[in-house]
Amino acid sequence: MKIAVSGKGGVGKTTIAAFLVKAMADRGRRVLAIDADPSPHLARALDFPRAEEICPIAEMQGLIQERSERDGPFFRLNPRVNDLPERFIREKGNIKLMVLGAIQQGGAGCACAENAVLRTLLNTLLLSREEDMVIDMEAGVEHLGRGTVASVDCLLVVIQPYRGSLETANKILALGRDLKMNHLEIVANQIHGREDLDYIQENLGVEPIGAFLASDRIREAERAGLPIYEADHTFGKSAADLLTVLEQMA
């Protein structure tokens, strides 16, 4: 099962991705967690040792330059990446982690060559790995425009019950349909009650397949740098319920 997690920035997609990875691992499954966000925090959310020391592959300029074989405006469209997973994967129990990151140019020009390396690596992982996979995608819709997650089994769009989040979700769902993705599903976060779920249903026309209640404990643990799994067991239960739904869809 290969799951991508997307949504507007700040809706809690990394937290949901981390709890989903933990739910898979708790069932004895081998899981590869991939952080493909420009500002990666999945290693910390998964409580990997020395998470702050992990350098995203996207920031390894020498490696990216070597693999893209860039020469002026020319570069390889299909760079060699087969050896990279074993070099840059970290392990903790039955969870493996790769911090991919994403290119942030900030006006520095086209990053086509760099993105070709990251896109090829992600596609290689999606097509060749046997274990379950959860990908924490970059916020927004840009990754869908590049078609980098078209081969996942399910795209989860994390939302919170406010207008900006739902507008981004609508764009992601529309692009996902254009890509003919297998499953496009909504997961609600920071839910206070039935009123929030009704608001989502009325404005999206889609019922979430999972819901995570608002949790001060998760927020406080994250701010303190403590393991979020131990902060609120209701989140773990919601993640286990979500995984059961995904298994039934597979």
> Can you tell me the mean pLDDT for 210-229?
89
Q: Return the pLDDT at 70.
A: 65
For 25-39, write each residue's pLDDT tens digit: 999 999 999 999 888
CB 217 within 8 A of CB 231: yes
For 54-76, write each residue's pLDDT tens digit: 999 988 888 877 887 766 655 65
Q: Return the pLDDT at 191.
A: 97
- The whole-angstrom separation of Cα 197 and Cα 136 is 24
CB 228 within 8 A of CB 20: no
3-state DSSP assignment of residue 211: strand
Q: Which residues contact 214 (CB under 8 A, 6 or more apart)?
A: 190, 191, 192
Q: Return the pLDDT at 193.
A: 94
Asked if pLDDT for residue 107 goes beyond 50, the answer is no
In the chain, the percentage of residues whose pLDDT exceeds 70 is 90
Structural domain harbouring 96: 2-249
For 170-215, write each residue's pLDDT tens digit: 999 998 888 888 789 999 999 999 999 999 999 999 899 999 999 9
For the chain, strand residue ranges (E) read 2-7, 31-36, 90-92, 95-99, 132-137, 154-159, 184-191, 210-213
> Can you tell me the mean pLDDT for 5-17?
93
**pLDDT confidence tier of residue 78, bands split at 50, 70 and 90:** low
Winning range, highest mean pLDDT, from 71-80, 104-113, 117-126:
117-126
Q: How far apart are the first and last CA of the chain?
A: 7
Identity of residue 20:
L
Q: Return the pLDDT at 178.
A: 87
**pLDDT confidence tier of residue 77, bands split at 50, 70 and 90:** low
Task: Report residue 57 as tokens.
Answer: 């592959």
* Domain total of the chain: 1
Mean pLDDT of the chain: 87
Q: Return the pLDDT at 241.
A: 97
| CATH number of residue 51's parent domain | 3.40.50.300
Task: Report residue 218 as tokens.
Answer: 């998760």
> Can you tell me the mean pLDDT for 145-161?
85
**pLDDT confidence tier of residue 109, bands split at 50, 70 and 90:** very low
